[in-house]
Structure formats: C-alpha cells, structure tokens
Structure 1
Amino acid sequence: MLAQAFLERPKPLAVRPIAMNFKKKATELGLQTYAGKVKHALLSDLVISKFGREWLQAVMPKLAAKSEGKILNSIDGVLYCYKSSSTSVAYLLAASALFETYDQAMLALEATDEEEQVVSSRQSIRIPKNELPKHYAASNGDYRATTELFPKINDFVVRNRLQALGLPNFGGRSHPNLLQAASAFYLEQKSLIESATVFGVPLSQLESLVRNAGVSMAKVLKMIAQGGEQRFFTKTQQNLPTVCFAN
C-alpha cells in the first residue's frame, strides 16, 4: 500500500525536506544521523531487523549482505544526503522502518521544498479554532478532502495539524471500513477485537489508530455521524510552530 502510493506521486522526490523528516524521526529513535565513525545504531540495521536478510536479498542485495554496524550510504544516507537521492526502494524501506503508521510515513515522503520553507520560516498561518475539526468531520476524516477546504493554506500544514490533533486519515488508502470500526469502538463501546472483526479491519491497523488517536477522537466521530455540524475543542490541544489560532 505504501509502495503503490509512493510510486504514484505526481512530483519527484524533494530530497532535502524528506531527509529532514527522516532525520528528526531517526533522532527520536536514537539512530545515527550523520556519516562517519559509527557511534549509534544505524538505520540500515533497523531495516534489516524489521524485514530480515532473506526478504531483503530480493529487493536490495547490498543491504542484505552488509555487516551489522557498518554504514551503507544507500540506506543510511537518506538521513543526511541533502543534494543527491537514493533509490525509491531505499526511501520506502527507510519510511517503513522509521514510522509506525502509513499516514506518518506518507506525510514524511510527501514533503516538498515549499513545505520545508513554510515550516522553517515559522510563518504564522491562521486557522479558526473550530474550523479544522469541523471540516475534518464534514469530510468524513479524509485528509485530502479536508485540505481542499483550506485552499489558501499549504496541504502539508493542514495534514500536520490533523496528525498533531491525533485525527487519523480515514480516506486515501486506509481500509474502507476503518471509520466504521473506529466508531464501533469509541461510540458503541465494542471491544477492539470485535470492532475490527465485524468490519473486516486488520486488528493491527485499528490498534495503531487507537494508539495514535487524540483525546477527542470520540467527539470527532460523533461530529462525523452528525454531518460535521457539532462544534467542540474549547481549548487548543496542541500547537504546531506553523499554526496560530484566531480568537
């Protein structure tokens, strides 16, 4: 699913902002994010531990054959090579190893030079306090549809804000019944296993949603059920550097 979405991207890779996204996550995981003497765990070794050498032999033989603790620039370099890109396979493997969810991985891979400029300049972008969850609910939790309701704001900023609020992407390539399964769990008080089973959603996918969901997930689902008309969020849960709320 991630590979297909990545390969269908309409624009070429923006190496620097993607590398910066990867580097930030790698730092959180305690991985080495620079070339030179190895002092920390390597991304390439993390990828091997995630996928196994036997499977990697078919997609990236050099990675499968490398010794533990030895830098492989074609993989480790995605964290610090800002001027030259690695292969698409390398970016996909890195994203899959670094990030827990599909949405997080795609957000990192979809970064553009324009988005990096928006974030790094710390530009103040005003989103009325209730508008984001309201439009998200009206769009049935679809990130793309939600961003289209904010035509003057960079898609990356809107997606980042939704993710920071713990609001998952029910659109795109997520399971078609994920919204129903989440509603069964949060609103109907069904167990996690029952909610996933009834709607045919992989348990791991629903668990990931619950693990990353914001504290107001149930309220958002009620808004979706009511057509996105209910307003909530009496105070801001979390602010991103690039977003300011209007009074």
Structure 2
Amino acid sequence: MASKDKSKVEVIPLAESKPSSRITEITREVKITTINLIRGFIEPNSPTGFREEIAGKEGSLIIIRGFGKKSSLPETRIKEEMYKLGLSGVITGIAAGPGNEELEKFVAQLISEVEKYDSKPILVGYSLGGLIALLAYHHGIQDKIRGIITVGAPINGIKAVLLLKRKSGLLKEISPGSKFLETLGTKKYHPNTYHLLAEFDQFVGNPSLINIDGKKIILPIRGHNNFLEAQITAQEVAKLAMEMLKNNLA
C-alpha cells in the first residue's frame, strides 16, 4: 500500500507574485551568511554594514550552496526581495559546502556555524545544500534555528549516471534508494520547513513523488539550474524567511 504523503503542496502560478501588502514593518536588516563550495567570501566589506538587529533581535539566513562552482542561490536577488518586504539583507560568507567528501563533514561545518548565533538563523539549502540542512537538523540544532527552506533538494536521490558524469564522491549516499535518503525521508523536521521544487527537474525528478515532512511549493521552473536565475526563487525564499522572522518576533 502506498504511503501517505506527509507534506502539503502549494503550486505557484507562472505569474510572479508581488510582495505581500500585509507586511508593513519598518526597514530592518538581516544577516545572510552563505556557506560556499569554494574558498572565498561574498561581499565581506558590504557598504550596508553588518548590523544584525531586527526589532531588537538578530535575524539571519544561512545559505548552503549545492555541488559545483556555480551552484549558489542568487544572494543579491534574495537581498533585493527581502528589502521590498521591509528587510535589508547583509550578505557575508564562509568557506564550506558539499564537495567530493562525505556529507557528514559539511553537516559538522554547518552545525558549527549555527552555534555561533545567539538567536536563531534560517537555513536555506540549494540542491545538496538542502540535504545538508535537513541532516544537520537532527544533530542538536532543533531549538537553534527558525526554520528550513530547501530549494531543488534531491530528496529521492540522483541517478547514478548523472553523478558519474560529475565524478562525485557522494555517489553512494545520494543514489536513489540509499539508506541515507530513506532515513532522511522518515524523520520529522522543524514546523517551519518548506521544500521549493520545480515543475520539471532532471536531478530531482517528479515533485509529486517527493514524500518528506514539510510543505512542498512547486514553482513554474524547468531545469535544476534554472532555480539560480529565476526571480521567483528569490521572491519565495524572501517571502518565507520574512514570515518566519515575523512570526518568531511577534
């Protein structure tokens, strides 16, 4: 008997939505930390400064990249969309992210970053970065984050032929049917867990077959890497982050 889908699904129409008129807070600043795949920093000397206060509390995003040199979410666009919602994002960066080693190494780095914050950041993981965020959740940070947003995360695994083309050492862990992915799919996650999925994604597969705790939001995107260029990606991440910050600071 087929298992009952644990997630809720929202399909975003093709027309890009405008920022919510319900949010009228004064301009605030939010720290956005990007965990990179390669050594280096993103805007380490941002002219907007490094204030991390939101209504007297710190609100932060930690963005975990996917596999590959060009697998970063559009931080600048996310920053712009958050500004429209009343948030001014400051983008910084540290070195880390999924390479050819085991995922546990990067989970440990993410946990170490989360523990630096006095208040709760939001984890935003693209592709394999989403798997890292989910895996890290059950390693002692359940009460240390505001929520999780995965973007194009290969929750059901990636076909071996695609992995071999990329010569990834993660082949065993993220192959369909692996013990790692089966375990990941049976766990409960933060109440604020969202999975942004594409209508068609050659890596992730049919979004209707994704069965994991959290709310699924299907975007009118075709192609895995198109998440990185689509404005709607930044809009949805910003909107979800703003709602989490708003609810937690109420």
The structure with the larger Rg is 1
TM over 0.5: no
Return the TM-score normalized by structure 2: 0.24
TM-score scaled by length of structure 1: 0.24
Could you say which structure has the higher helix fraction?
1
